[in-house]
């Protein structure tokens, strides 16, 4: 049976690892990350799981099924355990501990699962150390190359390749980390990292899709002239150009769906660099960093197109040249409707008091890399004030326990060959 006390004990144990004054520092592949990982592997072994570590360090902990045929698809679930600098003890950890607790509970109850079950502990989900997120999942899904391992560096100049070597992992064998076994489904429990569930007082969110950003910089090439000697009509003011673009991003993004809880598109100009940035000079060169997200690839592409057309129009009207530098263009993930339905039905059976809410995820997760591999579902739980990536991050143990009960019940169903998605 799922044990709230056991979940709390694991949370408390991990809360003693990598803790500093302002939060947790379990950055990927550091000593603190590894201490947490070692503890988790020890607990997976206690739950009777066989442990496989791939070339990137992802841990695949397996409970065999009664169907021993090699092509029996496994039911996959799990999350990550690394943190951002000054992060919380719940992001990633909650999903990892729920997966572990399900395995422990099934062993305790002597549950006979027909299909094999695998908990995956993903490495390096957070982008804070190497500037790119969900790297363990990318390695397993063939979206990471050995060149990337040499290219990606942390602030100290340590490459991802060197970090893997330092942990006795096998960066040269990266292609062997690609997951190719048949999978029936992938499930991940995670804190929401937003305020919607808390505001609505709903304990469980069922994720319908995961947004992904398109990012680009707009370099505006205005002219930095004397602020006193240049008449208004003779200026090429880069900041005025930028101001029009900033407001246009807000306006255009707002036009896709009026639901304030779940807007279809969100747009942010998070970087504004003005040069020379002094009081008596007209702003000349200005760089804007623009981030557009949506769970709809079409809506996102449309918003980006309209913003770029607007920039072109301002450039013509003001006579100021500009250039666009693409930064990234990631694909949103649509999660499986069948998986969401199975989770909703299962929640109604095992947690009849609990209301569930179908919702998109604005943040990226390991689950987004599995959506094209097998039917994928995510369970969100509320976190206090929506705070995450911060030492003040907090989720209630009762919510964690409920999510874990839902995960276990869903896994039990999916482990039957005749339950299809």
Binding site for Zn ion (CB under 5 A): 91-92
Could you tell me the smallest distance in angstroms from the CB atom of residue 51 to Zn ion? Answer: 22
Contacts of 417 (CB under 8 A, 6+ apart): 67, 72, 114, 115
Residue 125 Cβ vs Zn ion, minimum distance, rounded to whole Å? 5
CB 88, min distance to Zn ion, A: 10
The nearer residue to Zn ion, 125 or 402, going by C-beta atoms, is 125
Shortest distance, position 332 Cβ to Zn ion, whole Å: 17
CB of 197 to Zn ion, least distance (A): 16
Q: Which pair of structure tokens corresponds to residue 251?
A: 């306006």
User: To the nearest 10°, the Cα dihedral for 344, 345, 351, 357?
Assistant: 20
CB 121, min distance to Zn ion, A? 12
Nearer to Zn ion, 354 or 363 (CB): 363
Q: How far apart are CA 139 and CA 56, in angstroms?
A: 7
For the CB of residue 82, give the shortest distance to Zn ion in the complex, in Å: 9
Q: Of 367 and 411, which CB lies nearer to Zn ion in the complex structure?
A: 367
| Residue 116: CB minimum distance to Zn ion, A | 25
Long-range residue pairs from 9-18, CB within 8 A, at least 24 positions apart, any chain: 10/43, 10/97, 10/100, 10/101, 11/89, 11/93, 11/97, 11/397, 11/400, 13/39, 14/39, 14/81, 14/89, 14/93, 14/97, 15/89, 18/83
Give the residue with the Cβ less far from Zn ion, 125 or 148.
125
- Residue among 26, 44, 154, 120 at smallest CA distance from 369: 120
Per the CB < 8 A criterion, the answer to whether 403 and 98 are in contact is yes
DSSP assignment string, 391-416? TT----HHHHHHHHHHHHHHHHHHTS
Give the residue with the Cβ less far from Zn ion, 116 or 364: 364
Q: Of the two residues 56 and 380, which places its CB atom closer to Zn ion in the complex?
A: 380
User: In this structure, what is the dihedral angle of CA atoms 220, 222, 228, 233, given to the nearest 10 degrees?
Assistant: -110
Question: Between residues 92 and 116, which has the closer beta carbon with respect to Zn ion?
Answer: 92
**Smaller CB distance to Zn ion: residue 248 or 371?**
371
**How many CA atoms does the CB half-sphere of 131 hold within 13 Å?**
14
Q: What is the largest CA-CA distance in the chain?
A: 84
Shortest Cβ 400–Zn ion spacing (Å): 14
Residue placing its CB nearer to Zn ion in the complex, 113 or 119: 119
Whole-angstrom Cα distance, residue 129 to residue 152?
Answer: 9
Nearest Cα to 189, choosing from 127, 139, 84, 119?
119
Print burial letters for 294-329: b (CB count within 10 Å at least 16), e (below 16): bbbbebbebbbebbeebbeebbeebebebeeeeeee
């Amino acid at each position: 049976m799922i044990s709230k006390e056991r979940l709390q004990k694991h949370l408390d144990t991990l809360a003693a690892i990598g803790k500093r004054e302002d939060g947790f520092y379990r950055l990927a592949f550091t000593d603190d990350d590894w201490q947490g990982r070692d503890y988790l592997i020890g607990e997976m072994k206690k739950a009777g799981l066989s442990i496989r570590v791939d070339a990137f360090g992802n841990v695949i902990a397996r409970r065999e099924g009664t169907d021993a045929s090699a092509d029996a698809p496994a039911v996959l679930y799990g999350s990550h355990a690394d943190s951002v600098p000054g992060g919380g003890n719940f992001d990633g950890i909650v999903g990892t501990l729920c997966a572990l607790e399900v395995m422990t509970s099934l062993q305790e109850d002597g549950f006979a699962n027909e299909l094999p079950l695998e908990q995956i502990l993903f490495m390096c989900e957070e982008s804070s150390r190497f500037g790119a997120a969900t790297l363990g999942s990318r390695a397993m899904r063939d979206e990471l190359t050995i060149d990337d391992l040499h290219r990606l560096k942390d602030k100290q100049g340590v490459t991802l390749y060197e970090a893997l070597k330092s942990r006795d992992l096998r960066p040269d064998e990266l292609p062997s980390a690609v997951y190719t076994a048949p999978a029936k489904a992938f499930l991940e429990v995670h804190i929401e990292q937003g305020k919607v569930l808390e505001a609505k007082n709903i304990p469980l969110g069922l994720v319908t899709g995961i947004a992904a950003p398109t990012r680009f910089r707009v370099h505006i090439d205005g002219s930095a002239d004397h602020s006193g000697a240049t008449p208004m009509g003779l200026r090429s003011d880069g900041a005025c150009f930028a101001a029009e673009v900033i407001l246009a991003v807000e306006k255009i993004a707002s036009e896709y769906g009026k639901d304030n809880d779940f807007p279809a598109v969100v747009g942010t100009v998070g970087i504004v660099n003005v040069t020379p940035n002094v009081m008596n000079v007209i702003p000349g060169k200005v760089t804007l960093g623009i981030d557009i997200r949506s769970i709809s690839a079409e809506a996102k592409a449309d918003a980006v197109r309209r913003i770029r057309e607007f920039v072109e129009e301002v450039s013509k009207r003001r006579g100021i040249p500009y250039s666009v530098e693409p930064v990234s263009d990631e694909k949103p993930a649509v999660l499986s409707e069948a998986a969401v339905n199975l989770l909703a039905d299962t929640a109604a059976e095992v947690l009849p008091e609990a209301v569930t809410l179908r919702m998109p995820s604005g943040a990226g997760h390991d689950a987004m890399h599995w959506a094209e591999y097998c039917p994928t579902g995510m369970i969100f739980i509320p976190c206090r004030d929506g705070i995450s990536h911060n030492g003040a991050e907090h989720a209630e143990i009762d919510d964690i326990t409920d999510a874990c009960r839902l995960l276990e019940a869903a896994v039990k169903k999916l482990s039957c060959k005749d339950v299809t998605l």
